[in-house]
A and B are shown apart, each in its own frame.
Chain A
Amino acid sequence: MSEGHGHHHPRPASAVELRARALEALLAERGLVSTDAIDAVVELYENDVGPQNGAKVVARAWLDEAYRERLLEDAVPAIAELGFGGAEGDNMVVVANTPTVHHMVVCTLCSCYPWPVLGLPPIWYKSPPYRARAVSEPRAVLREFGLELGDDVEIRVWDSSAEVRYLVLPMRPQGTDGWSEDELAAIVTRDCMIGTAAPTANQPAIR
C-alpha cells in the first residue's frame, strides 16, 4: 500500500517524513521509481523475510546433526536448503554457542546484518550505544539484555563490518526434548541469533 492511500497520520508529518514523501513523489512523477517496487520491497521485509527464517534454520540444526554440520561448514548452501538467501546473505558464517563460548554480532561501522535470515535490524542494533559498546564491554551490554554469563564463558564478538554476515546458533535449551521443529523454532528469538539473548523452553518468541 502506498502512502496517502488509507494511511492516517495521527499528527502532522515531521520535516523528515515530508522530505521522504517528497522524494518518493518526485521519482514516481518522473516515472523513475515505481510505487509497486517500493511496496514490494517494504512488504518483502515485513511479511516474508524476518527472524522466523533464521529460527527455522536453528531448529533444523538442533534436530538434524548432519544439517548442523553442513550449516557450520558452509552456511550459505545449508541456509538455501530451507529456501532462504539473497542480498546481505551473500557470504554467511554461522557460529555455534557452547557451554564455554558465547558469540555475539555487531557492526561498529554501520548496520551490517544477515537480512535473509533475520530481516531488517532492530533499532538498537543500528544505534550508537550498541555499535560503540558491543566490542569494548560486551558483558555490560549483555547484562542490559538480561543475559548473565559465568566468568568461565568466553565471549566472542563478531564485528561484521566487511562482507561476511554472521548468525549465532544458540544452544538448545533444556526441557525441549521431543519438541517438533515448529515448536523449537517458536522459542528462537531474533536476539538469540544476534547473541544478545538465549532461548528458554518457557518463553514465547518475541520478534
Chain B
Amino acid sequence: MDGVHDMGGMHGFGAVVETGGELAYHERWEPRVFAISCVVGVEGLGAGPGGRAVREEMDPARYLAASYYERWLYSAEQRLLGKGTIAPGEVEAMMERLGAGEAMPGHHDAAMAERVLENLRTRMAMDPPPEPARFAPGQRVRVKRMHPPGHTRCPRYVRGAVGVVEAVRGADRLPDRVVYGENLDPEPVYSVAFSSQELWGPGDEPAWRVSLDLWDSYLERA
C-alpha cells in the first residue's frame, strides 16, 4: 500500500545522524516488545497478515509519531486481537492493575524459550530460481506502474522506472498475496539496478546506482 512507511525519496525528515541514534533502542521495554513479537510469531498466537503488513496499515499520523518499537507493540497487539488470543479491553485492564502497583506476573516455560531460539537459529532460504527465469542478467526491465492497496515490497519510487537485471536471487511466493493467506507458487526474484538519473532525474550529486530485489510479478519487458 502507498503508506507513509514507503519512505524512499521523501523530503523533510531532517538529519540522519542524531545523538543517541547509534543505539538499537533507548528503553528496556523496547527489546521486550521485539521478543514478544518473536514469540507471538513462533507460537502462532497472532492472526495474519504478519507484523510488517499490520504496521503499514497504521494510521499515517500515528505511524510517524510512534517510535519504532511502539509500532511493533501495535502490530503484536493487533495480531493477538485478530486471532482472539486476547480480547479488547484486556490490555487496558492490565495497565490499570500494574498502574495500581500489582507485581508483574511471570510464567516459566524453558521449552518455549528453546523453541523460539531454535526458530531464530533456523535458516529459511528462498527456493532456487527456475531455469530459465523470465528475465536474464543484463536484460532491461520496467517496473509496472501500479497502485496496490495492500502489502507490497515494490516501493513507489521505482514504479515505472527502467532498470537492468543484475542477478536472479531465487524464487519466492509473492508477498503481496501470500501474507493474506493465498497459496501461490514461487516466482523468480531479481536484483534490478537503476540509475539515479532514471529514478530522480538530474541532480547535484555524481550519478549513483540503486538496486532492489523485485518479484517477477512487479516487472515487465522494457
A127 and B21 within 8 A (CB): yes
Residues of B within 8 A of A42 (CB): 31-32, 34-35
B116 in complex: contacting residue of A26, A31, A41, A126, CB < 8 Å: A41
> Do residues A155 and B106 form an inter-chain contact, with CB atoms below 8 A?
no
Q: How many chain B residues have a CB neighbour from A under 8 Å?
A: 100
* B112 interface contact, C-beta 8 A: yes
User: Does A40 lie at the interface of the complex (its beta carbon under 8 Å from any beta carbon of B)?
Assistant: yes
A162: B residues at CB distance < 8 A? 153, 169, 172, 189, 212-215
Name the contact of B117 in the complex, choosing from A2, A18, A40, A127 (C-beta under 8 A).
A40
Inter-chain contact A164/B191, CB cutoff 8 Å: yes
B22/A28 in contact, CB under 8 A? no
Nearest CB of chain A from residue B58's CB, rounded to whole Å: 12
Q: Are A28 and B211 in contact (CB under 8 A)?
A: no
* Minimum CB–CB distance for B34 against chain A, Å: 7
Complex alpha-carbon distance, A90 and B108, angstroms: 30
Q: Which residue of A lies closest to B66 (CB)?
A: A16
Expressed in whole angstroms, the Cα–Cα distance for A158 and B106 within the complex equals: 42
Bits for A85-125, please: 1 = Cβ < 8 Å to B, else 0: 11101110100000000000000111100000001111110
Interface residues of A in 1-44 (CB under 8 A from B): 2-5, 7, 16-42, 44
Judge if B139 is at the interface, Cβ distance under 8 Å: no
Q: Which residues of B contact A (CB under 8 A)?
A: 5-11, 13-18, 20-36, 38-40, 43, 45, 52, 55, 64, 67-70, 73, 76-77, 80, 85-86, 90-92, 94-95, 97-99, 103-110, 112-113, 115-117, 119-126, 153, 155, 157, 169-170, 172, 189, 191, 193, 199-200, 203, 205-215
* Distance between B185 CB and nearest chain A CB, rounded to angstroms: 16
A202 to B189 Cα, complex, angstroms: 41
Query: Max chain B CB contacts within 10 Å: which of A34, A110, A155, A162?
Result: A162
For residue A128, give the distance in angstroms from its CB to the closest CB of chain B.
4
- A124 and B21 in contact (CB under 8 A), knowing A36-B109, A37-B113? yes
Q: A41-B38, A123-B23 are in contact. Are A89 and B123 (CB under 8 A)?
A: yes
Cα of A144 to Cα of B210 in the assembled complex, Å: 19
Contact partners of B110 in chain A: CB under 8 A: 34, 36
Structural contact, A34 and B17, CB atoms closer than 8 A: no
Q: Which residues of B contact A137 (CB under 8 A)?
A: 203, 205
Establish whether residues A16 and B73, one from each chain, have CB atoms under 8 Å apart when the complex forms. yes
Q: Does A135 contact B (CB under 8 A)?
A: yes
A35 to B212, CA, bound (A): 38
Most buried by B among A34, A86, A154, A157: A34
Interface range for A: 35 or more
The docked-state distance in angstroms from the alpha carbon of A162 to that of B168 is: 13
Contact B123–A109 (Cβ < 8 Å):
no
A198: CB under 8 A from chain B? no
Point out which of B76, B117, B120 has the most chain A C-beta atoms below 10 A from its C-beta: B120
Known: A124-B21, A144-B15, A156-B209. 13 other contacts (CB 8 A): A25-B94, A27-B36, A37-B35, A37-B113, A37-B116, A89-B123, A123-B22, A129-B16, A138-B208, A144-B16, A157-B210, A159-B211, A159-B212
